[in-house]
Amino acid sequence: MFEALSDLVVYRWIGLSPDNHFGAALHFFVMDVTKIFVMLILIIYLMGLLRAYLSPERIRTYIQNRPDWQARGMAVTLGAVTPFCSCSSVPLFIGFVEAGIPLGVTYSFLIASPMINEVAAVILVGILGWKLALLYVGAGLMVAWFGGIIMQWFKPERWVEDYVWKIHMGETPTLERDDSLKGRHSYAAAEVKEIVGRIWKWVLIGIGVGALFHGFVPEAWVTEHLAGGNWFDVPTAVLLGIPLYSNATGIIPVAEAMLTKGVAIGTTLALMMSVAALSLPEMLILRKVVKWQALAIFAGVLAIAFIIVGWGFNAMNIPAL
């Protein structure tokens, strides 16, 4: 449907040819803008209608006072199903610490949360198919699980800023909410406005980059250089992803363009994870609660984990699409 629409607009109305670089790029852009934004709005609205979003306050109570493996399992799962704005990381971190949740578990949550969310997962299925979506989500959950455990080995308590330990959290208020259909609708509409308003830029930039890659990077060059033959592709992709930041949804069109041109799966997934989960702005926000040593180790653990994931998938030689 979206492809037909894009055919109509770019090839018929504007009159560009699919063989033209610019035509191919524009076709990709129009198709992905319509497809991704329609999906984004629909999914967020439906989730809002079902009130499937969990507040950090509730997540905190769920994870609190559980044996380590259970707490971690919940942290990883809940981190994956909730799309938090990175601006909530600080209160979340403090709230978890205050509730006595182990730091390793908190780190597992902080890894899973930006990397995986249910909206991005559905869009992944829509754009890249089931197989890629499962690989990405599965690998992301593993990285979050083990990343948190490894963080714990370093005893990260010593790097938490002193003031964090002193904060006492008040009793979490129970807020009543309007559960009528009208109330749910206005909540869902507000969620769409809020989340799309926050991430549209990343998505648009991602589609733009994907479109340029699709239109202008020759397939022969990709096959020769990025098809998985070089061991340094994955580390390069991960390093490249550190200064770059995008939201988990925004990186999907870039991955789409890379995969259709023949970039190896492991390299692509490593770049996606690095861009979504390892970011400078997120680190600067976390710097308010932990010292830079903890951040350096956090970034190092994640970078190594993404490299292992990338090499692993490249070695398995899974056909992309």
Partner 1 sequence: MKNIKILGTGCKACDTTANLFRIAAEQAGVEIELEKVTDIAEIMGYGVMSTPGVIIDGEVVHAGGLPGPDQIRQWISE
**Contact footprint for partner 1 (CB under 8 A):** 55-57, 60, 85, 87-88, 90-92, 94-95, 98, 163, 166-173, 175, 186-187, 190-191, 193-194, 288
47 Cβ neighbours under 8 A, 6+ residues apart: 53, 118, 119, 188, 191
Query: In the complex, what is the shortest distance from the CB of residue 105 to partner 1, in angstroms, rounded to a whole number?
Result: 16
94/301 with CB nearer partner 1 = 94
Name the residue nearer to partner 1 (CB basis): 56 or 148.
56
> Minimum distance from CB of 110 to partner 1 (Å)?
14
40: left (phi over 0), alpha (psi -120 to 50) or beta: alpha
Selection from 58, 55, 114 nearest residue 86 by Cα: 114
State the minimum distance, in angstroms, from the CB of residue 83 to partner 1. 12
CB 14 within 8 A of CB 20: no
Distance CA 14, CA 7 (A): 10
Q: Which is nearer to partner 1, 94 or 276 (CB)?
A: 94
CB 131 within 8 A of CB 269: no
The DSSP 8-state label assigned to residue 228 in this structure reads: S
Least distance (Å) between residue 242 CB and partner 1: 24
Number of H helices, E strands in the chain: 16, 0
Query: Rounded to the nearest whole angstrom, what is the least distance from the CB of residue 82 to partner 1 in the complex?
Result: 10
Between 14 and 54, name the residue whose CB sits nearer to partner 1.
54
Nearer to partner 1, 98 or 157 (CB): 98
Closer to partner 1 by Cβ: residue 39 or 94: 94
Q: How far apart are CA 196 and CA 41, in angstroms?
A: 7
CA–CA gap between residue 127 and residue 255 (Å, rounded): 10
Angstrom distance (rounded) from CA 219 to CA 232: 20
Q: How far is the CB of 211 from partner 1 (least distance, A)?
A: 28
